[in-house]
Amino acid sequence: METIPANSEQLKYQSAIAHVKKMREFYNNLAVYCVVITGLAIFNFKTAPYHLWFLYPLFFWGLGLAIRGVKLFGPQLFLGKEWEERKIAEIMNEEK
């Protein structure tokens, strides 16, 4: 049984689909974060305004969301879009 090698266009398309899926998940998480933190802040101010406990989930959940955003958008922001191809070529040249 032979395997048919996938051409680069198919690989790029599959990679783009995966990236868009991750972006959609990130934006959904961001929307939920905004709604829930707003609700927690309102609940906190109504029940115990002297102790701002909503700041803990605001910070830690926000930190996790920020890390996820940097993982998702970081390579494009810091290294450009072609950094993966350059790195692959560099590794292949080292192996030769």
HEC string of 26-63 equals HHHHHHHHHHHHHHHHHHHHHHCCCCCCCHHHHHHHHH
pLDDT digits (tens, 9 = 90+) for 17-36: 888 899 899 999 999 999 99
Decide: helix, strand or coil at residue 1.
coil
Is 5's pLDDT higher than 60? no
User: What is residue 74's predicted lDDT score, i.e. its pLDDT?
Assistant: 76
Query: By the 8 A CB rule, do 65 and 33 touch?
Result: yes
Is 7's pLDDT higher than 80? no
Average pLDDT taken over every residue of the chain: 83
Return the number of other C-beta atoms located less than 10 Å from residue 72's C-beta: 16
Query: By the 8 A CB rule, do 74 and 23 touch?
Result: no
pLDDT digits (tens, 9 = 90+) for 57-78: 999 999 999 999 988 887 666 6
